[in-house]
Structure 1
Amino acid sequence: MSKEILVTGGAGFIGLNFVYYLLKNTSYNITVIDSLTYASHPKEILNLMSSPRFRFIKGDIKKHKDIQATMDRNYEAIIHFAAESHVDKSIKKPEDFIQTNIVGTYCLLEYLLKGYAKRMIHISTDEVYGTLELNQEPFTEKTPISPNNPYSATKASSDLLVRSYYETFGLPLITTRCSNNFGPFQHKEKFIPTIIYKALHNEKIPVYGDGMQIRDWLFVEDHCRAISLILEEGVFGEIYNIGGGNEKTNLSVVKQILNIMGREESLIEYVEDRKGHDRRYAIDSTKIQEELGWKQKFLFNQALEKTVEWHINKFKERSL
Structure 2
Amino acid sequence: MTERTLPQVVIDPGMPSAVRIFEVGPRDGLQNESTVVDVQDKVAFIRRLRRAGLSAIEVTSFVHPRWVPQLADAEEVIAALAADDHDGVTMPVLVPNERGLDRARTAGVRHIGVFASATETFAQRNLNRSLDGQFDMIIPTVRAALSEGMDVRGYVSMCFGDPWEGAVPLSQVVDAGMRLLDAGISELSLGDTIGVGTPGHVTALLAAFADAGADLGRIALHFHDTYGQALSNVQAGLRAGVTTFDASAGGLGGCPYALSATGNLATEDLVWMLDGLGIRHGVDLGALVETSVWMASRLGRPAPSRVVAALDGG
Q: Give the TM-score range, shorter chain.
A: 0.3 to 0.5
Q: Which has the higher strand share?
A: 1
Tell me which structure has the larger Cα radius of gyration. 1
TM-score (norm 1): 0.39
TM-score (norm 2): 0.39
Q: Determine which structure has greater relative contact order: mean sequence separation of CA pairs < 8 Å that are 6+ residues apart, divided by chain length.
A: 2
